[in-house]
Structure 1
Amino acid sequence: MTTRLWLIAGLILLAVNLRAAITATPPLIGNVQQALALSGTQVSVLATLPVLCLGAFAWLAPRLARRFGTQAAVCAALWVLALGTAVRAVPWPTALFAGTVLSGAGIAVGNVLLPALIKDRFAQRIGLFTGLTMTLMAGSGALAAAAAVPLSEATGWQFALALWAVPAVLAAAVWGLPAAPGAGGRHRRTPPAAPRGAGGSGSLLGCALAWWVSAFLGLVSLMFYALVAWLPQIMRASGYPPSEAGLMMSVMLAVGIPLGFLVPLAAARMRGQRRLVIAVTAAKLLSLAGLLLAPGFGWAWVCLLGVATGGAFPLAMTLLGLRADGPRTAADLSGMAQTTGYLLAGLGPLAMGLLHDVTDGWRIPLAVLIALVVPEAIAGLLAGRPGQVRPRGREEDPPKHTAARADGRLARL
Structure 2
Amino acid sequence: MYSESRTETVSDRLIVQDATPGADETRNDTTSQANQSAPETDGASDRAAAAGGGLLLAGVALAAANMRPAVTSLSSILGGVRDSLGASTTWASVLTSVPTLCFGVAGIAAPLLARRWGMRRVVGIALGVLTAAMLFRVTGAATTVLVGTVVSCAAIAMCNVLIPVVVKESFPRRVGMATGLYTTAMAAGGSVGSAFTPWLRAELGGWRLALATWAVLALAAFLVWNSAGRGGDSGAGAAPKATAGAANGGASLLRSPLAWAVTVYFAMQSLVAYVVMGWLPEVFKSAGAGAGAAGGLLGLVLLIGVPISMVLPPLVTRTKGQSVWTVCLAATAISGFLGVLFAPMSAPLLWALLIGVGMSAFPLALVLISLRTSSAADTSRLSGMAQSIGYLIASTGPFLFGMLHDVTGSWSASLVVLIGVLTVQALVGTFAGRPRTV
Range of TM-score over shorter length = 0.7 to 0.9
Is 232-241 or 139-148 further displaced after alignment?
232-241
Is 5-14 or 366-375 further displaced after alignment?
5-14
TM-score under structure 1 length normalisation: 0.85
Alignment map for 1:347-366 (pairs within 5 Å): 347-366=396-415
Q: 2:330: which partner in 1?
A: 281
TM-aligned CA deviation for residue 27 of structure 1: 1.5
How far, CA to CA, are the matches of 2:108 and 2:373 in structure 1? Answer: 17
Q: 2:207: which partner in 1?
A: 157
Larger Rg: 2
Q: Is the 8 A contact 2:116 2:236 kept in 1?
A: no
Alignment map for 1:9-408 (pairs within 5 Å): 9-123=58-172, 125-155=174-204, 156-177=206-227, 179-180=229-230, 183=233, 188-191=236-239, 193=241, 201-203=248-250, 204-295=253-344, 296-309=346-359, 311-389=360-438
Aligned amino acid, residue 241 of structure 2: A
Partner of 1:189: helix, strand, or coil? coil
How far, CA to CA, are the matches of 1:332 and 1:73 in structure 2? Answer: 20
How far, CA to CA, are the matches of 2:255 and 2:369 in structure 1? Answer: 17
RMSD of equivalent CA atoms: 2.5
TM-score under structure 2 length normalisation: 0.81
In structure 2, relative to structure 1, the CA distance for the partners of 1:60 and 1:368 (3 Å cut) is same
TM-aligned CA deviation for residue 22 of structure 1: 1.0
Aligned amino acid, residue 151 of structure 2: L
In structure 2, relative to structure 1, the CA distance for the partners of 1:178 and 1:112 (3 Å cut) is closer
1:5 equivalent in alignment to 2:54: yes
How far, CA to CA, are the matches of 2:280 and 2:229 in structure 1? Answer: 43
TM-aligned CA deviation for residue 237 of structure 1: 2.4
How far, CA to CA, are the matches of 1:137 and 1:251 in structure 2? Answer: 14
How far, CA to CA, are the matches of 2:141 and 2:402 in structure 1? Answer: 23
Q: Is the 8 A contact 2:281 2:297 kept in 1?
A: yes
TM-aligned CA deviation for residue 327 of structure 1: 4.8
In structure 2, relative to structure 1, the CA distance for the partners of 1:233 and 1:100 (3 Å cut) is same
CA displacement 1:242-274 (0-9 Å, x = unmatched): 322222111111122111111122223334322
TM-aligned CA deviation for residue 146 of structure 1: 0.8
How far, CA to CA, are the matches of 1:329 and 1:180 in structure 2? Answer: 31
Aligned amino acid, residue 342 of structure 2: L
Q: Is the 8 A contact 1:235 1:245 kept in 2?
A: yes
Q: Is the 8 A contact 1:28 1:148 kept in 2?
A: yes
How far, CA to CA, are the matches of 2:63 and 2:263 in structure 1? Answer: 22
How far, CA to CA, are the matches of 2:400 and 2:314 in structure 1? Answer: 34
Q: Is the 8 A contact 1:223 1:348 kept in 2?
A: yes
CA displacement 1:184-221 (0-9 Å, x = unmatched): 5xx74334637x9x989421433333322221111001
CA displacement 1:9-57 (0-9 Å, x = unmatched): 2321221111111111111212211222112211221122222222222
Q: Is the 8 A contact 1:284 1:304 kept in 2?
A: yes
How far, CA to CA, are the matches of 1:6 and 1:346 in structure 2? Answer: 34
